[in-house]
Amino acid sequence: MKIKQYEIKNLPRVDWDAMVGPDDDINSTLLSFIINNGFSQLVQFPTRGCNVLDILLTDVDVLVTSITSHPPIGYGDHVTIKFSLAAAQDSKFSDAD
């Protein structure tokens, strides 16, 4: 069995709103994986130049309550992505018992 390995660096030609991209091995494989597994890509702002190169995938959109862009860390050339998750406390782990 031959196993394909990919190093995903940048996929600037993917249209994340339409979930389409160039018809080559890496773009097709990634987009098929995302679509076939029910994931959504949530970053809606450029993360380097005019491109969305840094992505946030989830299969439960409502768990991510906010996504914001912040300046790069150090000398980086990609913005920092900050996001918040909704979480509920399980009562059986409460300190009130």
* Domain ranges, residue 4: 1-89
Residue 9 lies in a domain: yes
Say if 77 falls within a structural domain: yes
Tell me whether residue 97 is in a domain. Answer: no
Count of alpha carbons within 13 angstroms of residue 42, beta-carbon side: 21
- The answer as to whether 94 is a domain residue is no
Q: Is residue 79 part of a domain?
A: yes
Residues with Cβ within 8 Å of 14's Cβ and at least 6 positions away in sequence, in order, are: 20, 21, 27, 30, 31, 52
Q: Is residue 95 part of a domain?
A: no
Per-residue pLDDT of the chain (97 residues; tens, 9 = 90+): 555 555 556 788 999 999 999 999 889 999 999 999 999 999 999 999 999 989 999 999 899 999 999 999 999 999 999 999 888 777 676 665 5
pTM, two decimals, is: 0.76
Count up the domains in the chain and report the number. Answer: 1
